């Protein structure tokens, strides 16, 4: 049932309207003073607003009503406003509609006609809200980069175990925590859970927590209202609101600073989100899936990750095996990536030499499936014949430590990769700390990690 706001300086009008609408609205707020409109609207939204056009300062022109109509629409552009007055004519009604009013009611009114106007106004409000949600979600979908490889591939027993877990869990709304190294396909698992759930027809929202600074964390996840901070030019929903009805995937959740974990826990527990700059709580309905590549239980033991938050997000855990533990899947994955990139780069006759496949199977693949994908794409681009031979494959030079403890490789890319690996390992995968030690920004480190398949 709708929430209604009635503004009129006549107490009899306020009482009459309140009695008439009491069986058709969940909340009815009445106010004699139009100056209170901004504060009332900031405390909460209203589905239908009845606004008198003439107050004590001016009893006939309707100028006050038009002024407050504009103010209401500045605060909430989707507001549905029905103007009421005892002095009306066709010109005034036309002007009211042009200025953004939904309808125009003359005093004294017929109860049946006013109720019909109220019903139509509420339906319009509901349609506007639903349309705005659809636009917001579609805008988000359009911004998402295409994943490119939607199918999960694997015949090995570790992957079959993953598939069996997905089949059991997907149809539920249980929160899932996906654990695994970088490049093992955690997002693919999250998408598979969504695709096989009852929310399949709704939106899937992916948030890379590791790429969010502390200042962006709340505005991106919870949204904000106009004026909440310097660059807040308009109201904007956060990822929780955008994902409502569908699935929210929080990747690299282990990187959330402790001071922000409590805020995330509150939202998950209460299923409500409050935008920055607002006191209004918005209900959310999401299926939550999280993922991390760091040892989360060690983080809990060392008081770097809240235990109560872990309990909220890991109703079910899915452990993704690294590629070195599922080597039987390497030929399938390699052929799958080859078929994709043959089409992309228009090399339909390209094949992988069996000796090359043996080289793949003997490699450690520290970057996992993502590294294999990049190696295949690079090979397809650079190969000058129809057969990708072992010499066409660059898997990184093998370094041997000298007596001075230095690597004998002088390949700058390889040196950069190994340095990053050591620092990331030192900090248990914490990108922020690794970036600080390397003298890089987080975004710069992420670009280099992507470059090297880490």
From 295, 321, 347, the end of a domain falls on 321
From 321, 350, 378, the end of a domain falls on 321
For 8, phi then psi, to 5°, come to -160, 140
What lies within 8 Å, CB to CB, of 254 at 6+ separation is 292, 293, 294, 296, 299, 305, 429
Residues 193 and 272 occupy one common structural domain: yes
76 vs 376: CA distance, rounded Å: 52
Q: What is the pLDDT of residues 411-445, one digit of tens each?
A: 566 677 778 877 877 776 777 888 877 877 777 77
Residues 165 and 291 occupy one common structural domain: yes
Question: Alpha carbon of 51 to those of 7, 60, 65, 302, 400: distances in Å?
Answer: 5, 14, 7, 58, 80
Residues 66 and 195 occupy one common structural domain: no
129 vs 282: CA distance, rounded Å: 13
Statement: residue 110 has pLDDT above 80: yes
List the alpha helices (DSSP H) in 150-213: 157-169, 186-195
Statement: residue 1 has pLDDT above 50: yes
Q: What is the mean pLDDT of residues 57-75?
A: 76
Measured CA angle at 182 (ends 429, 220), to 5 deg: 75
Measured CA angle at 436 (ends 433, 442), to 5 deg: 85
Residues 90 and 213 occupy one common structural domain: no
Please tell me the predicted confidence (pLDDT) of residue 137.
Answer: 57
User: Is the sign of the CA dihedral 302, 306, 307, 311 positive or negative?
Assistant: negative
Whether 148 is in a domain gets the answer: no
Whether 136 is in a domain gets the answer: no
Could you tell me if 261 and 309 are in contact, meaning their C-beta atoms sit under 8 angstroms apart? yes
367 vs 376: CA distance, rounded Å: 13
Which residues does residue 371 pair with via DSSP β-bridges, in sequence order? none
What is the separation of C-alpha 213 from the centre of its chain, rounded to a whole number of angstroms? 15
Please tell me the predicted confidence (pLDDT) of residue 77.
Answer: 84
Question: Alpha carbon of 435 to those of 157, 210, 375, 445: distances in Å?
Answer: 36, 12, 25, 6
Q: Is the pTM of this model over 0.85?
A: no
Residues 379 and 390 occupy one common structural domain: yes
Statement: residue 239 has pLDDT above 50: yes
Classify strands 236-237 and 223-224 as parallel, antiparallel or unpaired: antiparallel
User: Is the sign of the CA dihedral 350, 356, 358, 359 positive or negative?
Assistant: negative
Residues 223 and 331 occupy one common structural domain: no
Q: What is the mean pLDDT of residues 318-339?
A: 91
Tokens of 197: 């759930």
Q: What is the mean pLDDT of residues 30-40?
A: 88
Whether 152 is in a domain gets the answer: no
HEC profile of 61-86: CCHHHHHHHHHHHHHCCCCCEEEEEC
Could you tell me if 245 and 254 are in contact, meaning their C-beta atoms sit under 8 angstroms apart? no
From 301, 321, 341, the end of a domain falls on 321
DSSP run (H or E) holding 177: strand 176-179
279 vs 42: CA distance, rounded Å: 8
Whether 131 is in a domain gets the answer: no
Which of 145-149, 173-177, 267-271, 303-307 shows the lowest per-residue confidence on average (mean pLDDT)?
A: 145-149
Q: What is the mean pLDDT of residues 331-336?
A: 89
Q: Residue with structure tokens 């006050």? A: 64
Confidence of residue 144 (pLDDT cuts 50, 70, 90): very low
Residues 100 and 245 occupy one common structural domain: no
Structural domain harbouring 389: 323-395
How many Cβ atoms sit within 10 Å of the Cβ of residue 84?
Answer: 25
Q: What is the mean pLDDT of residues 213-239?
A: 85
Residues 333 and 315 occupy one common structural domain: no
Please tell me the predicted confidence (pLDDT) of residue 42.
Answer: 81
DSSP label of 435: H
Statement: residue 240 has pLDDT above 90: yes
Which residues does residue 292 pair with via DSSP β-bridges, in sequence order? 179
Cα end-to-end span (Å), the chain: 52
Statement: residue 157 has pLDDT above 60: yes
Residues 290 and 371 occupy one common structural domain: no
Residues 369 and 251 occupy one common structural domain: no
CATH number, residue 210: 3.40.50.300
CATH number, residue 366: 1.10.8.60
Confidence of residue 95 (pLDDT cuts 50, 70, 90): confident
**DSSP one-letter string for 234-256:** S-EE-HHHHHTTSEEEEETGGG-
Residues 177 and 259 occupy one common structural domain: yes
Supply the mean pLDDT for the chain.
Answer: 83
Statement: residue 53 has pLDDT above 90: no
Whether 143 is in a domain gets the answer: no
Tally of structural domains, the chain: 4
Whether 103 is in a domain gets the answer: yes
How many Cβ atoms sit within 10 Å of the Cβ of residue 8?
Answer: 23
Q: What is the mean pLDDT of residues 171-190?
A: 93
Which residues does residue 177 pair with via DSSP β-bridges, in sequence order? 290, 317
DSSP run (H or E) holding 179: strand 176-179
Residues 356 and 387 occupy one common structural domain: yes
Whether 210 is in a domain gets the answer: yes
Whether 135 is in a domain gets the answer: no
Please tell me the predicted confidence (pLDDT) of residue 341.
Answer: 92
Q: Helices (H) and strands (E) in the chain — how many of each?
A: 18, 16
Question: Between these two residues, 232 and 285, which has the higher pLDDT value?
Answer: 285
**DSSP one-letter string for 20-68:** HHTTT-SEEEEES-GGGHHHHHHH---SEEEEES-BTTBSSS-HHHHHH
Q: What is the pLDDT of residues 274-315, one digit of tens each?
A: 998 888 888 999 999 999 999 999 999 999 999 999 999 999
Measured CA angle at 126 (ends 123, 129), to 5 deg: 150
Please tell me the predicted confidence (pLDDT) of residue 444.
Answer: 74
Statement: residue 147 has pLDDT above 80: no
Confidence of residue 58 (pLDDT cuts 50, 70, 90): low
């Amino acid at each position: 049932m709708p929430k209604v706001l009635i503004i009129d300086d006549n107490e009899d009008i306020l009482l009459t309207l309140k009695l008439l609408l009491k069986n058709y609205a969940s909340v009815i707020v009445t106010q004699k003073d139009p100056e209170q409109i901004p504060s009332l609207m900031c405390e909460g939204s209203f589905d239908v607003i009845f606004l008198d056009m003439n107050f004590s300062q001016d009893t006939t022109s309707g100028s006050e009503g038009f002024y407050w109509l504009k103010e209401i629409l500045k605060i909430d552009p989707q507001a549905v406003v029905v103007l009421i007055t005892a002095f009306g004519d066709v010109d005034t009604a036309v002007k009211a509609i042009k200025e953004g009013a939904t309808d125009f009611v003359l005093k004294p009114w017929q109860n049946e006609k006013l109720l019909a106007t109220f019903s139509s106004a509420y339906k319009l409000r509901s349609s506007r809200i639903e349309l705005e949600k659809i636009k917001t979600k579609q805008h988000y979908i359009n911004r998402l980069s295409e994943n490119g490889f939607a199918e999960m591939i694997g015949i090995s027993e570790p992957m079959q175990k993953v598939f069996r877990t997905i089949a059991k869990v997907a149809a539920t709304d249980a929160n899932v925590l996906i654990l695994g190294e970088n490049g093992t396909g955690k997002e693919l698992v999250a998408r598979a859970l969504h695709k096989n759930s009852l929310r399949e027809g709704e939106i899937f929202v992916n948030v890379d927590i590791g790429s969010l600074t502390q200042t962006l964390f709340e505005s991106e996840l919870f949204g904000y209202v106009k004026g909440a901070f310097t660059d807040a030019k308009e109201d904007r929903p956060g990822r929780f609101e955008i994902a409502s009805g569908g699935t929210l995937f929080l990747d690299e959740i282990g990187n959330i600073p402790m001071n922000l974990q409590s805020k995330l826990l509150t939202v998950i527990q209460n299923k409500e989100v409050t935008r920055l700059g607002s006191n209004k709580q918005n209900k959310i309905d999401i299926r939550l899936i999280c993922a991390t590549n760091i040892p989360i239980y060690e983080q809990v033991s060392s008081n770097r990750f809240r235990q109560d938050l872990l309990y909220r997000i890991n109703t079910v855990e899915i452990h993704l095996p690294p590629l070195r533990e599922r080597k039987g899947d390497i030929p399938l994955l390699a052929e799958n990536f080859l078929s994709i990139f043959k089409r992309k780069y228009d090399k339909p006759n390209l094949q992988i030499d069996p000796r090359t496949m043996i080289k793949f199977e003997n490699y450690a693949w520290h970057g996992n499936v993502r590294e294999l994908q990049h190696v295949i794409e690079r090979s397809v681009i650079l190969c000058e014949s129809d057969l990708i031979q072992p010499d066409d494959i660059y898997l990184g030079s093998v370094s041997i430590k000298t007596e001075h403890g230095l690597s004998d490789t002088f390949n700058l890319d390889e040196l950069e990769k190994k340095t990053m690996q050591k620092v990331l390992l030192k900090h248990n995968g914490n990108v922020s700390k690794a970036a600080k030690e390397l003298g890089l920004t987080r975004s710069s480190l992420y670009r280099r990690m992507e470059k090297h398949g880490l």
